[in-house]
Amino acid sequence: QVQLVESGGGLVQAGGSLRLSCVASRSIFSINPMGWYRQAPGKQREFIARITSAGVTNYQDSVKGRFTISRDNAKNTVYLEMNSLKPEDTAVYYCYARMAWTDYWGQGTQVTVSS
């Protein structure tokens, strides 16, 4: 079992940056993969980025080159650095982990990008 807690969301102007954090309740060394999803009002949850235990990353095309996912195993934390934010990035962002054939989700953190 693992609990995930996101933080770092907020209101930012277009072109600005935010850094989201996801702190796990246990070691993330063997959790594979971990990542971020987002859900805008009236839309389905969509994949944003993920990182494997080996450090291999994948990104949705719409955020590629703007967002960077990373992890710090010593802090049990996964980060999402978001740059050049656009209004269409506005959504609730969820941390995700896959462990022992089970999916775990955080409660989400709101990101709002103004024009």
Which value, in Å, is the radius of gyration of the alpha carbons in the chain? 13
The pLDDT value recorded for residue 32 is 83
Q: What is the pLDDT of residue 110?
A: 98
The predicted model gives 93-111 an average pLDDT of 95
- pLDDT, residue 60, reads 97
Contacts of 15 (CB under 8 A, 6+ apart): 84, 85
Question: What are the structure tokens assigned to 72, written together?
Answer: 């710090």
Q: What is the dihedral sign for C-alpha 10, 13, 14, 19? A: negative
pLDDT of residue 100: 83
The SS3 call for residue 21 is: strand
pLDDT tens string 21-80: 999 999 988 888 999 999 999 999 999 999 998 899 999 999 999 999 999 999 999 999
For the beta sheet containing 18-24, the strands, ordered from the edge strand earlier in sequence to the opposite edge, are 4-7, 18-24, 77-82, 67-72
Question: What is the arithmetic mean of pLDDT over 8-16?
Answer: 98
